[in-house]
Structure 1
């Protein structure tokens, strides 16, 4: 199937836009790769320190004839998705040893759980933790003793930060190893219903806690399709996972076999192996376009609209919101996974999952097949799925048809013809809206503004009975410079209740929503942010705001915003408590959300 002309045009546009920084990046990678395997440049004293604790592996390490893998782990048992990584280093070391190589834990990176910090002060560190993760991974790999890197991470900021590090060390190969989703618990729609009942005051905290514990109940990734699972999808579409690795449950024989297979493959693709494949060769313009298509086809997290530009920039590639919007316009929405539907990721995987989806999109001319991946050349490898045979992974043809068309549909008969992620622009600036879970009759909202500076103020107004009419709720001073851009997850139940009461409501904010944001139209990541004096700082209560996801516009009607002075807010309280003091340099130097809200790249 020939490529869709828009796919080709967007790829060419990204390549032309990125020509200078991309060539500089590739030149840097080529110079580093030309130096050969890392350990050959270390003195005997350097190496003695590196191998002192390696026991029986010392001979192999000092001989320098076999590859050495550096493990970057985001293990902790605060995150259910990362708890399985506790045992991965032993498994990786054993698999590497059996295959004639070695492996060492190069370093750990922080991994915070947004589920724990939602609505709490610590959430103001969340976005910046991505850049900290990239920095921490860089420290671990700076010892320069590794022929390839193995990255253990799953959740929201962790995978983007690790990809930024992998691109920076792009002259060595890297493989990402997931842990898989927890088995299904309380259905996500029931969890959402209980949260709304609590927001209305109809149930007590004991009932709420019972529902939450039944939903988040064991090791593995949360089962809704938020940022963590969107990350796993992205790693397959971009060729950094082994095919079919994303959604195999923890603690299963196939999960362990995939970890072993990924270790063996990491050894094969080093400069010492037979199929040298550095990360810089994988992360090109086509890989990022494939990732964008995957995001649209699955109805993935809006957080990746921030993270993908930052990841791309680390590889010398410049993405723009128009790339997201244009690819969304041609990409069919093929999946309905909560919050876009009732199914969870386990149901999605059973219905055919990513292998079916990739095969369909390739056949529709909506993905680049001519890419390099950790599995080899060609994205078509990812239309296969892994099975267990005598304790090892073997690949077979993926499902030729969907196993449940209420969850997963072919590209020719999708749930909707577009991916449901649209750039909105107008006199309020630029932002994005995710419409894949929003009813079509709510794609256009026009109503008076009610302006707030915190999400708690919105909740207080709701509890006081002040929000009784059609309203566009504007929550500003929530961008990265203001307070680190915490997710405004706490607004979701409140706004859903207002909408269920028959009101026309929408959110406009320079902040973020959760990766699981759903049925209420929300224009997010509005740039420039209020702290930069952006137009959103000029909005006043009663202004008529019109957002139109069908035309890609957002504007304040009949008002010259430039004639108004920007509102100000007292942000001094954002600088202290729960570690915020340490991140002042980040708040002062962070870039625009539209460009990835980056600090280190």
Structure 2
């Protein structure tokens, strides 16, 4: 039974994590014992900490009896998803004051946009920005002035980085505060169509820019179900958002009311009150499993095959891709949101959203309901929708029991697929991940000659020259964390999609990333060990037959084993990855990064795979 499989995976993770989890909790309890309150600070320290505060706030901080809430924000006004966060500190400070507490803006963290850097040199900083954000979060909290944290962030690496940083102060309660998706613009399928026409040379840059501008048109998260919106799903199903908070549009009365409610809740769950809920108690093995289950049930981002490993490790919990694959086999696919369908996240929310998904999974025994959350004990509170009462205050009621649109959201009894959206691939080319929820069944098995490239630009040039008009497995090598920071390779998606539409059998195999927007072309990604680390993918040559079977989870090159083992590898010149756009500052990150299955992290110890 699927419930048995979930229990087995959970028990396996608990058993594997005994030593590391115990050590984490021991360290966290010791930090709590020392006390996060101002009483541990010398008078000079404390005076520095509240010197700029208003008189009332200063009096509260002097007393040491009222909570002080840290605001850690990823605000900048270039990112549409983070621009709405500009108004949050004022809302939070006012709400916290009314609750008898204090809030201070503890620090900002960087937030880069993969949509802006896609295909550019700056994209090679993207994965490592997660660890920079984690460290920046730790610096913001390091003054030991705080009793809880409010974490303001949305997009790809930002939420995982804030999450890891918050867990390094695991004795503090943590509430994550989203900004919400932008309203629906040009549909994602129409946008993808324009991109393909541009790749074929049938539309000019002006038409492409206009389509992109109509799609990404205002404040809020991009509306497709990529890593940013997968982040929001994770924070809710893991109990770090308030119920129903994930997908409310920015700059609306309900969005503001939920921000106020998050601030009030943070003030209530500190160690100074009766409902102390530190993040170390919220994020345990069951919560991590719940996150992976949510990812599978909704067809979420493959980036979280990397991020969730690193996020779990920050809590002393060891997960690997076999855990992801086994949970995917046990969990049905309940949602179709672009690129897994034509709907966007606004349609998903309108159809029932997170409350419907969580209720369905709970009722079917496919989630651990006995967990702590920032809303209280158990996940039942997350069956509820948020709405405004007559006074404009956020309140909650039971969510819908039936999907409002079964083309977008379905019950467990009638899913889109009996299994989840992500699978483990393994074979003589290593281990990797494939997102199958957007790939039609007839495209999930392919056997074709390899065309080998050492950069996505080389592949694009071959496509434009007509050299790939055939059945082909495009192999893009030396794209792992140590080679160049593991950038996403979405520049390849339109061209490969064109080839597939022409009737060719097409696949991509790479030690790089494709993230949450992985689409209709089968893509074996995150191949590990990476090529620069001696991974066998580096030995593949033009014309080798590569077999990718997403149904059985096999990825192999069909070359005589002795011949393949005897091949030598010539590492291409990677010096162009070491300078420009700040890449020279990240040499230590590239040198120390763990493999993709170990989280691609610069400071987490490698975790053995099963």
After superposition, where does 1:569-588 map in structure 2 within 5 Å? 569-588=572-591
Deviations along 1:28-76, one digit per CA (max 9) or x if unpaired, are: 0111111234211001111111111111311111111110000110000
Q: Which residue of 2 aligns with 1:270?
A: 270
Deviations along 1:451-483, one digit per CA (max 9) or x if unpaired, are: 000001111001111011100000000001000
Q: Which residue of 2 aligns with 1:300?
A: 300
Q: Which residue of 2 aligns with 1:541?
A: 542
Deviations along 1:178-203, one digit per CA (max 9) or x if unpaired, are: 00000010111100000000000001
Q: Which residue of 2 aligns with 1:251?
A: 251
Cα offset, 1:234, TM superposition: 0.3
Cα offset, 1:565, TM superposition: 0.9
- Do structure 1's residue 175 and structure 2's residue 175 form an aligned pair? yes
SS of the aligned residue for 2:516 comes to: coil
SS of the aligned residue for 1:4 comes to: helix
Does the CA contact (< 8 Å) of 1:188 and 1:342 recur in 2? Answer: yes
Q: Which residue of 2 aligns with 1:310?
A: 310
SS of the aligned residue for 2:385 comes to: strand
After superposition, where does 1:486-525 map in structure 2 within 5 Å? 486-525=487-526
TM-score relative to the length of structure 1: 0.99
- Do structure 1's residue 14 and structure 2's residue 13 form an aligned pair? yes
SS of the aligned residue for 2:194 comes to: helix
After superposition, where does 1:17-416 map in structure 2 within 5 Å? 17-56=16-55, 57-389=57-389, 390-416=391-417
Alpha-carbon distance in structure 2 between the residues aligned to 1:264 and 1:59: 20
Alpha-carbon distance in structure 2 between the residues aligned to 1:567 and 1:377: 56
Does the CA contact (< 8 Å) of 2:298 and 2:421 recur in 1? Answer: no
SS of the aligned residue for 1:598 comes to: coil
Does the CA contact (< 8 Å) of 2:288 and 2:312 recur in 1? Answer: yes
Cα offset, 1:420, TM superposition: 2.2
Alpha-carbon distance in structure 2 between the residues aligned to 1:420 and 1:189: 19
Deviations along 1:524-571, one digit per CA (max 9) or x if unpaired, are: 000011101110011001111101111111001133222111231111
Alpha-carbon distance in structure 1 between the residues aligned to 2:194 and 2:2: 45
Alpha-carbon distance in structure 2 between the residues aligned to 1:565 and 1:15: 41
SS of the aligned residue for 2:176 comes to: strand
SS of the aligned residue for 1:326 comes to: helix
Does the CA contact (< 8 Å) of 2:230 and 2:295 recur in 1? Answer: yes
Does the CA contact (< 8 Å) of 2:2 and 2:331 recur in 1? Answer: no
Does the CA contact (< 8 Å) of 1:36 and 1:271 recur in 2? Answer: no
Cα offset, 1:3, TM superposition: 7.7
Does the CA contact (< 8 Å) of 1:488 and 1:513 recur in 2? Answer: yes
Cα offset, 1:274, TM superposition: 1.7
Cα offset, 1:15, TM superposition: 0.5
Alpha-carbon distance in structure 1 between the residues aligned to 2:313 and 2:177: 23
Does the CA contact (< 8 Å) of 1:3 and 1:367 recur in 2? Answer: no
After superposition, where does 1:433-582 map in structure 2 within 5 Å? 433-560=434-561, 561-582=564-585
Alpha-carbon distance in structure 1 between the residues aligned to 2:145 and 2:376: 25
Alpha-carbon distance in structure 1 between the residues aligned to 2:575 and 2:414: 52
Alpha-carbon distance in structure 2 between the residues aligned to 1:193 and 1:224: 15
SS of the aligned residue for 1:115 comes to: helix
After superposition, where does 1:417-432 map in structure 2 within 5 Å? 417-432=418-433
How large is the RMSD of aligned CA atoms in angstroms?
A: 0.9
Cα offset, 1:381, TM superposition: 1.0
Deviations along 1:202-235, one digit per CA (max 9) or x if unpaired, are: 0110001110110001000000100000000000
- Do structure 1's residue 594 and structure 2's residue 594 form an aligned pair? no
Cα offset, 1:258, TM superposition: 0.4
Alpha-carbon distance in structure 1 between the residues aligned to 2:319 and 2:393: 39
TM-score relative to the length of structure 2: 0.98
Cα offset, 1:380, TM superposition: 1.4
Cα offset, 1:287, TM superposition: 0.2
Query: For structure 1, which segment, 70-79 or 550-559, has the greater mean C-alpha deviation from structure 2 after superposition?
Result: 550-559
SS of the aligned residue for 2:448 comes to: strand
Does the CA contact (< 8 Å) of 1:126 and 1:486 recur in 2? Answer: yes
SS of the aligned residue for 2:517 comes to: coil
Alpha-carbon distance in structure 2 between the residues aligned to 1:420 and 1:177: 27
Does the CA contact (< 8 Å) of 1:37 and 1:272 recur in 2? Answer: no
SS of the aligned residue for 1:58 comes to: helix
Equivalenced residue count is: 600
